Structure 1
Amino acid sequence: MSAKGIHPIISEYNLLWEALKHYEERLEKLSSMSTDEDQQLKYDEKLQDIEGILNSIKIAAKNDYDLALE
């Protein structure tokens, strides 16, 4: 993330992490409750995107501040 021009501070990394984890939990719940296969697929695609973003944030936080996000 920081290589592309943004350089969050530690509190911003933590805030991004918490917000995305919360959204991830919500999407998991919506996906499991959905009876519409198309809608469930949309939720699952968003979950995959969030997983990639979380991994990027985790790596950037580690590289920038030696911060371990879990």
Structure 2
Amino acid sequence: MTTTAAYTGWRKSTYSDDGNCVEVGHSDSGSIGVRDSKNPFGPILDFDQDSWAAFTRHIRTGRLDR
């Protein structure tokens, strides 16, 4: 995990509803950060490009559905 200052351009998904949102930001090094929008100074999950691509691919295909 890393600090908020390392990331810029935080944005929420258009699918997010009020209060249950995650935000995605990008760092200068090319990594992707994910944080809870209700706690912008809390922990950030840090993904490298390959891990982010695999994660979003699994989401789109439903592989992570319960």
Tell me the TM-score normalized by structure 1. 0.30
Larger strand percent: 2
More helix by share: 1
- Bigger relative contact order, structure 1 or 2, given CA contacts below 8 A and separation 6+? 1
Q: Which has the larger radius of gyration?
A: 1
